[in-house]
Structure 1
Amino acid sequence: MAGLIRGNELELAACVGLVLGDAANQSTAYCLELLKGGIPVVLSRRALSADLLQMIPDNHVLLAKLCAFYPGSTAEINQLHHRCGLPPLDECKALAEEAAGEGDLFSAVKFLLLSPEPEEALQRGIDFVKEQLSGSDWTVDGVQPILDLMSYIRTDRLVLTRLTQARSELLILCGYVGALLAIRRNYRSIVPALYEYTR
């Protein structure tokens, strides 16, 4: 499967993984996630992406990322939310506030990204990451999931002029944490470029 994935034979790798079953669950999930990323933005293709992601166990965050990144009309977005088992746009803001009240920042950011005003997720998430980085006991694993989630904000919102500072901060934080992840995963060749970009 690893050879097929490296060779970009993702459909074959997914089929092999499905046949192998539990022994290949992690590789199959990774392969299905890669396959989803190569599908165009058209809603019908997004439905196919949702179907692929639903084959992965513990897929809730992956489905939320798929929906958060989709730039369609309100009706199209709600249709995709329904297909993925997520609440409609108008309910997500209230769910975000409820999660924030319970101290669950990850869920709050996730539901804000799925709401009609996803840009609110950026400031909340960035403030959290900056607060973590100002302490001495932070870890990459403590900040990476929230940065990864925020990076799925819709591009049409991220490029708004009023989000220039938040966009810059998100890119800087992602570059810095990405460089640390690259070191951990032995992708040393990209580390200097990431640190130069972050600087």
Structure 2
Amino acid sequence: MPNAQANKKLGLVSSPDTKHYVFKDMYSYVSIAWPMKVQEDEIAENEGHAENNDDKDYAKPVAHEMKVGDTIRYRAGLIILKALNKDAKVRDIPLAKNDVSVGAQLEIQSNGKVFSTEPIFMIKGGSRFDFSKKVDSADLKVRFSNILPEKGMMEITTYVKPEGEKPYIVMKAIEFPSINFFWSGTIIMVIGFLLSIFRRNKELKTV
């Protein structure tokens, strides 16, 4: 399978792939990949909502007040708050006795498919943090941005990719018909050349 990688200096670096068949060979490669992002640092599985995130890739965020069982609509489908996970874990972040970590278990219905995700809201050491989750197949990123105890509601913030901004790639394939006949002819020619050498050596020995 062909693949491509974004390089900061060289741009798109494509690694082609070749498939061999009886009567032909297929050569394929990625010619265009959009958006092309250079991955400079490894991103952790759970990210905090920081200033250097990818919010700019989405339309203006919208905050929704929800309780368990509520459904909200967005451009590409529906978001349902199924339950709250009051023992949510974030990798490499241990919790102290008075810390709070709650996950919003969301069901996302988009284009006939169903996805599950769980953004997390955390209070640690008196400070608030939230860990967003992306569902690329639904053009969506969600944050569990706040808990509103006086209303008994949760604040879920949605980020939706603008229409027409879906990532895409362009692949090209080149067919080499009857390429095996070419190689067969080359092999036969080499064999004939070797046989002629052996025959010539044999004739010289008999003289």
| TM-score, normalised relative to structure 1 | 0.22
Question: Which of 1 and 2 has greater Rg?
Answer: 2
| Structure with higher strand content | 2
| Structure with higher helix content | 1
Instruction: For CA contacts below 8 A with separation 6 or more, give which structure has more relative contact order.
Output: 2
